[in-house]
A and B are shown apart, each in its own frame.
Chain A
Amino acid sequence: MVKATIVQAVNMALDLELGRDRNVVVMGEDVGVNGGVFRATDGLQKKHGKERVIDTPLSEEAIIGTAVGMAVNGMRPVAEIQFSGFVYSGFDQLFSHAARIRNRSRGRFSVPLVVRTPAGAGIRALELHCEQGEAFFAHAVGLKMVIPSTPYDAKGLLLAAIRDPDPVIFYEPMRLYRAIKEDIPEDDYTVPIGKARIAQQGDDLTVISWGALSKFTLDAIQNNKVNAEVIDLRSIYPWDSEAVLNSVKKTGRAVIVHEAPRTSGFGAEIAATIAERAMLELEAPVVRVTGYDTAVPFARTEMEYVPSEKRIMDGVNKVLKF
């Protein structure tokens, strides 16, 4: 066991996999000599060489598009997009190609690609450095989408993502990069994609969240001594509807907390699924606590956008008191 933050856990996973599999390469802007703007790839180029930890020219579209070509030709690229707000110029390559090449070629070619990118507000960053848009990727059929919120899950999910035969978008919660330190195994382990984590057992309601907000949601629940089952979804596609439905059937109440804007956010998918499959077990309407349908405001206002403890508790109380 070793104490690690999420950034360190990411670094450990990349280091381990670069050492284990010759076909794995890390690529992106500033990932080499500089070790990444968040230091997630610190020391990796020195250890594994310039052709395995590759400083690329500055083009998100080309980083993702060439990584697709590399993956088709037998490599396992782990591409870093410096901030998730910049992934969209590469979205065409993800949506139109990475996600479809297995299907288009009837299985002859596949794209074992990981796109890592820091996401979320709360670090007083510049415009478009604080977006969280998991629903775009969940809606892009053929992609997998995960967001760990603990160092343990960050390492285990990243290893699972790199070994996955299909493309995986790996969001890293920027606000938690260094906020938590926990003991994680130095050895190899994976956390399966598609499985949620029960962060706290409870009986009175189910609170579902992911990314940085899964920590702050748990904090809110614990600060207010609510007997809630708290689920960290971890995987957005595929998602663990079983864990969510089992919990909701037990508690009869559900609140979904996410940072992305509400309309067509992933919370809508979860709420619809609960309505379809657990309607009769519900004792209250499902409530969403989310970011607004606005641009993430600049630093002085951004925490007004991100669901706060007050807003989370408002949702919890609405559902409990219904």
Chain B
Amino acid sequence: MVRKVIEKFEVEYLQVMDEQGNVDNSLMPKISDEQVKWMYETMVLSRTFDDKAFNLQRQGRIGTYIQFKGQEGSQIGAMAALEDKDWLFPMYRSGAALIARKTPLHQLLLYSGGDERGLLCSKDINNFPIAIPVGTQNLHAAGCAMASRFKGEKTVSLVFMGDGATSKMDFLTGMNFAGVFKAPCIFVCENNQFAISVSRKIQTAAETIAQKSIAFGFKGMQVDGNDVFAMYKAVSEAVENARNGNGPALIEAYTYRMCDHSTSDDASKYRDPKEMEEWKAKDPIDRLEKYMRNKGLLDDSYRAKVAEDAKNKVEAAVEEYEKTPAPNPEDMFTYMFAEMPLQLKEQLEEYRRLK
């Protein structure tokens, strides 16, 4: 008889840049000044867009909008590690990731304005449509990555989900399939501490979300999600590993939702405002700005120019959105099937007769 420890696991945490913008050079990923600027500009653009979209909703110019304020670092850091041919499986809060992945801003407004054309994606980039049901996209990403592997292609799939989604079986079975088939799939959980009003502690008794991958046979890592460099580094390493045929990874981006859950929510009902103040001090954009100032990559005039450019782009997008003609209502029939079946043809005729 014997009783002994047969397995031991460790979960790494990664932070490259602290809240004052100081980086640990031994951890700093290789990254050009151009890339740093791209990150900064994309984060500022995303934040500007997010604030504007919130106001548009309040003015009744778009419908429900889901803010991502505070999560720009984790999304844009992750996206910097992908190529266009790679696959992104976004969720409703992935606006910053979609902006980083070349989605025209007015399309995001169209989407929130109640127009399916907002989900159109150019053929030059593989952005899957936004998932509204929590967690379901994990399986699509795992399957897409399995297909890449079976076809011998070097593309990877990256999927975003929240901490709430980690309680769902599609998250767990998605990781299980990805693990078994060594699928090049990167699972990025943005742990923003809440699923609407439910705190992270109510989702799982586990100490971290990162450790959940261990049960499926691959590595998980917790990363400071408000540190764009740490996210870039962790995702880049996971992507390279996946491209080389070594299978999936889970990355828990430890972050905070610096906004309500959605424009229909009021977070003051369930969150302590002090918490928000603490997290404001960790803002991903401020932190990058401090770093860039120290490095001589940012001065007041560059900062003002980036802000001005972002504002102009967002204003142009609002204009483009508001002048977009209404969609053709017949489109509701058009895209159901490649070829319209008999029953739908009959209903389309009825629609035309009575519209």
Interface residues of A (CB under 8 A from B): 25, 51, 56-57, 59, 61-62, 64-75, 89, 92-93, 96-97, 101-110, 141-142, 144, 165-166, 194, 237-242
Q: Are B343 and A238 in contact (CB under 8 A)?
A: yes
- Taking the complex as formed, is B140 at the interface, i.e. its CB lies under 8 A from any CB of chain A? yes
* Residue of A whose beta carbon sits closest to that of B332: A103
Q: Are B177 and A110 in contact (CB under 8 A)?
A: no
- In the complex, A141→B333 CA distance in Å? 11
- Report which of B121, B169, B338 forms a contact with A108, defined as CB distance below 8 A: B121
- In the complex, A291→B174 CA distance in Å? 37
- List A contacts of B332 (CB < 8 A): 103
- Taking the complex as formed, is B253 at the interface, i.e. its CB lies under 8 A from any CB of chain A? no
Q: Are A61 and B170 in contact (CB under 8 A)?
A: yes
Pick out which of these stretches binds chain A: B128-136, B201-209, B259-267.
B128-136
- Report which of A51, A73, A93, A104 forms a contact with B116, defined as CB distance below 8 A: A104
- In the complex, A76→B177 CA distance in Å? 18
Quote the shortest CB–CB distance from B151 to chain A (angstroms): 7
- Report which of A65, A107, A109, A239 forms a contact with B174, defined as CB distance below 8 A: A65
- In the complex, A144→B344 CA distance in Å? 12
Interface centre among A66, A144, A239, A240 (most CB of B within 10 A): A66
- List A contacts of B331 (CB < 8 A): 106
Q: Are A69 and B119 in contact (CB under 8 A)?
A: no
- In the complex, A69→B141 CA distance in Å? 6
- In the complex, A96→B147 CA distance in Å? 21
- List B contacts of A75 (CB < 8 A): 147, 150-151
- Taking the complex as formed, is B321 at the interface, i.e. its CB lies under 8 A from any CB of chain A? no
Q: Are B147 and A70 in contact (CB under 8 A)?
A: yes
- In the complex, A62→B129 CA distance in Å? 19
- In the complex, A96→B133 CA distance in Å? 8
**Secondary structure at chain B's binding surface: helix, strand, loop or mixed?**
helix
Q: Are A105 and B343 in contact (CB under 8 A)?
A: no
* Residue of B whose beta carbon sits closest to that of A65: B139
11 interchain pairs (CB within 8 A)?
A: A65-B138, A65-B174, A69-B157, A89-B169, A92-B133, A93-B136, A97-B136, A103-B332, A105-B121, A141-B336, A237-B343
Q: Are B136 and A165 in contact (CB under 8 A)?
A: no
Q: Are B146 and A65 in contact (CB under 8 A)?
A: no
Answer whether A165 and B174 are a contact pair too, CB < 8 Å, given A68-B143, A238-B343: no
- In the complex, A106→B169 CA distance in Å? 28
Interface residues of B in 154-212 (CB under 8 A from A): 157, 169-170, 173-174, 176-177, 180
- Report which of B129, B133, B144, B177 forms a contact with A59, defined as CB distance below 8 A: B177
Q: Are A66 and B174 in contact (CB under 8 A)?
A: yes
- Report which of A59, A70, A109, A165 forms a contact with B173, defined as CB distance below 8 A: A59
Q: Are B335 and A72 in contact (CB under 8 A)?
A: no
- List A contacts of B120 (CB < 8 A): 105-106, 108
Quote the shortest CB–CB distance from B104 to chain A (angstroms): 14
- In the complex, A204→B336 CA distance in Å? 38
Q: Are B173 and A65 in contact (CB under 8 A)?
A: yes
- In the complex, A73→B183 CA distance in Å? 13
Quote the shortest CB–CB distance from A162 to chain B (angstroms): 14
Which 10 A-B pairs give the minimum distances between C-beta atoms? Answer: A69-B143, A65-B139, A66-B143, A238-B341, A62-B173, A73-B147, A69-B140, A69-B144, A165-B338, A103-B335
Q: Are A70 and B337 in contact (CB under 8 A)?
A: no
- List A contacts of B136 (CB < 8 A): 65, 92-93, 96-97
Quote the shortest CB–CB distance from A15 to chain B (angstroms): 19
* Residue of A whose beta carbon sits closest to that of B327: A106
- List B contacts of A96 (CB < 8 A): 133, 136
Number of A-B contacts (CB under 8 A): 141
* Residue of B whose beta carbon sits closest to that of A63: B177
Quote the shortest CB–CB distance from A28 to chain B (angstroms): 12
The 0/1 profile, CB within 8 Å of A marked 1, for residues 272-297 of chain B is 00000000000000000000000000
- Taking the complex as formed, is B67 at the interface, i.e. its CB lies under 8 A from any CB of chain A? no
Q: Are B150 and A142 in contact (CB under 8 A)?
A: no
Quote the shortest CB–CB distance from A270 to chain B (angstroms): 12
Answer whether A62 and B139 are a contact pair too, CB < 8 Å, given A69-B147, A104-B116, A109-B128: yes
- Taking the complex as formed, is B117 at the interface, i.e. its CB lies under 8 A from any CB of chain A? yes
- List B contacts of A238 (CB < 8 A): 341-344
- Report which of B143, B174, B176, B338 forms a contact with A67, defined as CB distance below 8 A: B143
Q: Are B341 and A237 in contact (CB under 8 A)?
A: yes
- In the complex, A305→B87 CA distance in Å? 49
Interface residues of B in 310-355 (CB under 8 A from A): 331-332, 334-339, 341-344
Q: Are A57 and B150 in contact (CB under 8 A)?
A: no
Quote the shortest CB–CB distance from B166 to chain A (angstroms): 15
- Taking the complex as formed, is B53 at the interface, i.e. its CB lies under 8 A from any CB of chain A? no
* Residue of B whose beta carbon sits closest to that of A240: B342
- List A contacts of B144 (CB < 8 A): 69-70, 72-73
- List B contacts of A51 (CB < 8 A): 150
- List A contacts of B176 (CB < 8 A): 57, 59, 62
- Taking the complex as formed, is B30 at the interface, i.e. its CB lies under 8 A from any CB of chain A? no
Q: Are B119 and A25 in contact (CB under 8 A)?
A: no
- Taking the complex as formed, is B269 at the interface, i.e. its CB lies under 8 A from any CB of chain A? no
Answer whether A241 and B336 are a contact pair too, CB < 8 Å, given A62-B176, A104-B129, A109-B128: no
Q: Are B128 and A72 in contact (CB under 8 A)?
A: yes
- Taking the complex as formed, is B142 at the interface, i.e. its CB lies under 8 A from any CB of chain A? yes
Q: Are B116 and A66 in contact (CB under 8 A)?
A: no
- List A contacts of B226 (CB < 8 A): none
Quote the shortest CB–CB distance from A238 to chain B (angstroms): 3
Answer whether A72 and B140 are a contact pair too, CB < 8 Å, given A65-B170, A102-B335, A105-B129: yes
- In the complex, A103→B129 CA distance in Å? 10
- List A contacts of B87 (CB < 8 A): 73
- In the complex, A52→B76 CA distance in Å? 36
- List A contacts of B123 (CB < 8 A): 108
Interface residues of B in 42-67 (CB under 8 A from A): none
- Report which of B140, B173, B343 forms a contact with A97, defined as CB distance below 8 A: B140
